[in-house]
Chains A and B, each alone.
Chain A
Amino acid sequence: MNKHLSNGILRKYSQSTTNNIPKISSTLILSRLPVITTELSKFEKLFYKYQEELWRRLMWTFPKWFYFNQGTLAELRYKQLNKGSMSYDPKILYPRGIPDLKQGRDRRFRQYIKAPKPYKEIDELSQEQIKEIEEQKLKNNGEELINKDDLTRKIIPNQRVTKADLNKDDKSLERRLERTLYLIIKVNDSWILPTFENEKNSTSLHELAESGLYKIGGDKINYYNVSRIPCHVKESNNNKEYFIKSHILSGIYEPQDKKNDYKWLTKEELKTYLPNFNEIEHLFSEV
């Protein structure tokens, strides 16, 4: 009897709140993590340069006898490239101070070592050779002739700036490789983070975000959900948006409705697109 009564009260109490049950929706912060390291500032570059020079200056002498056996061809090649400094002669005047040689190294300075290699650096080439290479480049669509099967070939790293950067393509996942990119979509002429409404209030927030993403962007997306726990809540007029974070790992976002526009933007660029940016600024990565 008592139990029934309390149940009734509970039901009555909960029914009274049904009128203003907030609409729950989950908002997806889909990010593409940086592919390359961040661009260093000028100060950082100079500081690292300074530290490296100090470190090189205080390094031990290179133990040549350990790496090159005496009398071998390899030692001969090493010797041809690395001519030892002049030893001290009392008859000579030394304006930069008396040399202090030990194991063929002047202990006052850092030791520069050249390793034998099958190609020459630009500063080692003569003017004619440089001309020849440039002519070859012109013939070969601006690229140097390199045998890609050669294991001892010169290593040329890929460009940090991609084609998407040069074309200013906002929709490419290959733009701004050094920064985290976030997906925003255009709904009713305003840019928003993709938001999905929870109709029955029964599916969990992260599953709702997943199914919603597949619905608007196709299922060719490989993503990793960071956590099931929402990272932010935004309340407005009986609406509650819970933010879920995910990383896109591979695949492509293809809008299923061709009218829907989308963009991959960095934190700074989001500022001009999202109206409530100041509220959620801390959710986006600086890098």
Chain B
Amino acid sequence: MFSKSTILNTNNTFKVLVRYKRTKGSGEVNAATQKIVNQLSVLSASRKQPKLLNLCNEDLIKHKTIMNAWNLFKSKKNLKREEQLRKQYESMKNAMEDLKNTNKHLYKLANSKPNKKEVDLFPIEMRIPTDYPPTIPWIYSYKPRK
């Protein structure tokens, strides 16, 4: 009798919860989704933004002075360029008016557009200025087409 009851008791205490390896996490995603999340995170500002600039009064005045000086410098440059362009336009107009009065034929030729056969194409040899010169700065070996 006694021994039977103990077995029953022990039987009850054997019901222990066992922890297995976790198969599903709360925040985990599969590899493909993670890749897309990584890619999108490059475009997103979250956790990547620096602190805002907090300039003191003195720095603020310095910044404004620099920007004012820059605007003044640019406007002076622009005025000079506009003046030059205006002069160029005036002298071009003047030259054409003059040519009209002196020689009608040359005036007509100056105003004419190139024929379909001899189109003045924009040259592909023309290059945009770069910060440093090419290894061969100038091409001397040009041969005229015949």
Instruction: Tell me whether B88 is interfacial, beta carbon within 8 Å.
Output: yes
Q: Given contacts A43-B73, A222-B142, is CB(A230)–CB(B99) below 8 Å?
A: yes
Instruction: Tell me whether A114 is interfacial, beta carbon within 8 Å.
Output: no
Interface size class of A (residues with CB under 8 A): 35 or more
Pick out which of these stretches binds chain A: B9-17, B20-28, B132-140: B132-140
Interface residues on chain B, number (Cβ under 8 Å): 55
Asked if A50 and B126 sit within 8 Å, CB to CB, the answer is: no
Instruction: Tell me whether A171 is interfacial, beta carbon within 8 Å.
Output: no
With a cutoff of 8 Å between Cβ atoms, the chain A residues found around residue B47 in the complex are 61, 102-103
| B102-146 interface code vs A (CB 8 A; 1 in, 0 out) | 110110011110000000101101110111111101111011100
Instruction: Tell me whether A263 is interfacial, beta carbon within 8 Å.
Output: no
Instruction: Tell me whether B30 is interfacial, beta carbon within 8 Å.
Output: no
Max chain A C-beta neighbours (<10 A), residue from B39, B41, B51, B94: B51
Asked if A37 and B131 sit within 8 Å, CB to CB, the answer is: yes
Q: Which residue of A lies closest to B67 (CB)?
A: A47
Instruction: Tell me whether B64 is interfacial, beta carbon within 8 Å.
Output: no
- Name B66-88 residues within 8 Å CB distance of A: 66, 69-70, 73, 80-81, 84, 87-88
Asked if A231 and B84 sit within 8 Å, CB to CB, the answer is: no
Asked if A250 and B103 sit within 8 Å, CB to CB, the answer is: no
Asked if B126 and A35 sit within 8 Å, CB to CB, the answer is: no
| A160-189 interface code vs B (CB 8 A; 1 in, 0 out) | 101000000000011001100000000000
Asked if B142 and A229 sit within 8 Å, CB to CB, the answer is: no
Asked if A250 and B95 sit within 8 Å, CB to CB, the answer is: no
Among B49, B51, B84, B110, contact of A205 (Cβ-Cβ < 8 Å): B110
Q: Given contacts A66-B41, A233-B99, is CB(A33)–CB(B126) below 8 Å?
A: yes
A43-B129 Cα distance, complex, nearest whole Å: 21
Asked if B126 and A107 sit within 8 Å, CB to CB, the answer is: no
Instruction: Tell me whether B92 is interfacial, beta carbon within 8 Å.
Output: yes
A66-B138 Cα distance, complex, nearest whole Å: 43
Instruction: Tell me whether A90 is interfacial, beta carbon within 8 Å.
Output: no
Q: Given contacts A37-B130, A103-B47, is CB(A221)–CB(B142) below 8 Å?
A: yes
Asked if B129 and A36 sit within 8 Å, CB to CB, the answer is: yes
Q: What are some 24 contacts across the A-B interface (CB < 8 A)? A: A35-B134, A47-B70, A59-B50, A60-B48, A60-B50, A61-B47, A103-B47, A157-B131, A158-B134, A173-B138, A173-B140, A201-B103, A201-B105, A204-B112, A205-B109, A220-B144, A235-B98, A240-B98, A249-B123, A250-B142, A251-B140, A252-B140, A283-B88, A283-B91
